[in-house]
Structure 1
């Protein structure tokens, strides 16, 4: 990326409403994904993490997304310290539904009512609050009907511990079944230039039902930025577990990402900004309201992401020519987006190979 592509003044995020009726949550149209501050992609000191959250806040963003499994609670604890004395200024999301195991690939999805109700209290304690604005089922438990999980989440709303509920990586059918039990505020799934299976069933479902959509990994876990290098993948980097970042797949996908960087350079924007702008353009076509939640450990990288909101902060504009060039890239990506396709919506919908 050239210096001229580095934004000098960040656009102010627009306000969006995720969900409708009693499930409506109003927040900024970009949020911070706080997995990065728990060491998923490399270490970060707590003081640096708090400074980064302050930078995001000063940039006009009030939406923070974390989960109980990120660093086994570390992310929630850091977010909780950041929120001390100003909890009501932020829309706070966290998640339940992945039970700790032997590391990535050995964990299990768990969505029974007892577990959900147990874990919310642990999350509230770590976050230093008595409620969360949005509580997601992190993964759908194959052994528990989605109606049970949604019912348990709904009971937490009635108890005042949660204001809105959501699902992560749910299929279109699972979304409809859960929404019939208790209205969903949002669905969170991976969506990017490189990962597009949600466009077949998930996005049409949320658009029809008026549910917000929260794309995670909108820059392909760093691939769709100007900064990624295979040399950055240290021994403890969680990306080693994902097929995109393994062996020949990584070499191929890095070359494919270079095409995106070239397109971004042609229009003088950071690659991360182009990736975010692309999401807003595609979401408009589906009639979906979105709030992407990119994550990073660096303020400079955050600035590049937020530049994707465009001059007026509403979501940027990607030229028709750029959209056309980006359209077919997902089909060329080597490897699946998850280490276990059964854990993501596209795997259970038959859109990506199952293990």
Structure 2
């Protein structure tokens, strides 16, 4: 059995006011092409197909196009809802979609949905577990689960006994031996106090666990438990990473080999740093794709007139521009200053402090200080 594991598509996502739909269409075409090229038996999508519970119409059209492409190639799709999805909306027409080879579990209703595929060695059972909240499990099973761990235990205890190869598709926050996995800024904030945490040891009875929820591709613990990660970078914290689909090969005994298939975006997400005049030079801009999504740190010390407009004239997809922070310098100075003075600082000193704060640690020069004193004198105020 060979299948492609992807997750966290977040179709319809907007990052720093930039719609990612064009990029998502490009990467979904790439995933569909990869599925055909690798001759997979299925594509597994582990939740957060959409970015919002009520996705915009173009996002719905894009997902439909993706599913239709795979269906036309005779490739089954196995998917669950994530915490960003609307379970009810994703569950709509699921019975009809199954006839087209799309196995979609949007809602947990007291029973885990199964999708059984065959290869030369027999059956492979895929168990589809949508994003589980303790309250949903309690309503369905009459339990008193207070944590996601307890909810997952209650649900998995109810799985039917089945011999042979088993794959779990889930969208949860999973860790091994209490060690948290790698996170990024684009994930929805996780619960405080570890109540959302599910121990990977709970999945020991499965030959492979296809996870969604976290956006970095990673293995959890030493078992066959994997996050595919998101197919695109969705935050500044992800700029140094790469994105993958996981190609999973399973033999007749359930042993798996997992290979990372790197995904190439239409536009990368990068950080650049330097003086404004240097960054907008043609020679510098030509070093990378100027259409990339950029987070820019400007190292200029003086004032700049509308730097974002200037940057976007060269790099149209500049997402964010900021001045190089001088916070650490200010903190160091405060620490090195010794005991706090009890006397109240005068107008010049107060303005110096404000200037240093406003210009990220830059100090007023003698000419600026003299001009300030002159203004204060003309106003009849005290300088010190």
The TM tier, using the shorter chain, reads 0.3 to 0.5
Instruction: Give the TM-score taking structure 2 as reference length.
Output: 0.34
Q: Which has the higher contact order (CA 8 A, sep 6+)?
A: 1
For the pair shown, which has the larger CA radius of gyration, 1 or 2?
Answer: 2
Name the structure with the higher strand share: 2
